[in-house]
A = this chain, B = another copy of it.
Amino acid sequence: MARTADPRAKIELLRSAEAVFAQKGLTAARIEEITKRAGLSKGAFYLHFESKEAIFRQVVESFLARCRACMLSPDEVENLPGDPAEVVQFCHARDVEVYEFLWQNRAILAILQACEGEHVYLMRAFRDEMTSNCRMWIELWKKKGLFRDDVSSDVAAALLSGAYHELAGKMISAPKRPPIDEWLRQALSVFVDGLGTPTLSHAIARFQNRLRVSKGIG
């Protein structure tokens, strides 16, 4: 009867690969380093993965799929809020949820930031996903009369996704978890004032007052 594979081997390899790719990037990461870290041989690596590129793709693509699942688009959300005050709360809660996910996966995010050459499509895919998601939400809020019409959805999406992406970068480069809730509250305030109609701007002002009271901040 055949010897059975160690059920933990593949998982250890994936974990080690993630860590080494995050630290070194794809090019400088070596199979030797990954396998040593996982406590396995180089030969064993090729029993589980076809190539260096194959494991790289698996690490990153599974993250992108989970990321995709986390960033819902408007037609994937049930019971969309209508009231401006609820819209503001909804957006903040969603931002916090996405950034919690990104914080938990900050190693892979660091990998993505450093994709080069033929793998730059992965980084591009991630950023395009963010931009596209932003654009869909922007168009919904425009349709509901909550966002201004004179800024094109493309430009607005680029500004939003660029800004939030930079916040993500700032978050993952911090030595320990920063006050991301507060960052997101401020960011939301800036963009609601910048892109929102007066109705929505009033709602953000009230939302912030409520947050301050609940945190005991004068």
Q: Knowing A27-B116, A191-B194, say if A162 contacts B155 (CB, 8 Å).
A: no
Cα A207 to Cα B163 in complex, Å, equals 24
Q: A residues near B, CB below 8 A? A: 24-28, 114-118, 120, 131, 150-152, 155-156, 158-167, 169-170, 183, 186-187, 189-195, 208
Kindly report which residue of chain B lies nearest to residue A164, judged by CB atoms. B162
Chain B residues with CB under 8 A of A161: 166
Among all A-B residue pairs, the 9 with the closest Cβ atoms: A162-B166, A194-B194, A190-B194, A159-B163, A116-B116, A163-B163, A162-B163, A162-B162, A193-B194
Whether the Cβ atoms of A186 and B152 lie closer than 8 Å is yes
Cα A94 to Cα B190 in complex, Å, equals 22
Number of copies: 2
CB distance from A98 to the nearest CB of B (A): 15
Given A161-B166, A189-B194: 14 more A-B contacts, CB < 8 Å: A25-B120, A27-B27, A27-B116, A28-B116, A28-B118, A114-B117, A114-B120, A116-B116, A151-B186, A151-B190, A158-B163, A158-B166, A191-B194, A194-B195
Chain B residues with CB under 8 A of A162: 162-167, 169
Cα A165 to Cα B31 in complex, Å, equals 34
A–B pairs, 16, beta carbons within 8 Å: A28-B117, A114-B116, A115-B116, A131-B166, A155-B167, A158-B167, A158-B170, A159-B166, A159-B190, A161-B166, A162-B162, A162-B167, A190-B191, A192-B194, A193-B195, A194-B194
Q: Knowing A158-B166, A158-B170, A162-B164, say if A151 contacts B117 (CB, 8 Å).
A: no
Cα A115 to Cα B113 in complex, Å, equals 9
Cα A151 to Cα B208 in complex, Å, equals 12
Chain B residues with CB under 8 A of A131: 166
A156 touches which one: B114, B118, B159, B190 (CB < 8 A)?
A: B190
Chain B residues with CB under 8 A of A156: 186, 190
Cα A150 to Cα B189 in complex, Å, equals 10
Interface-central residue, A27, A159, A161, A189, by most chain B CB under 10 Å = A159
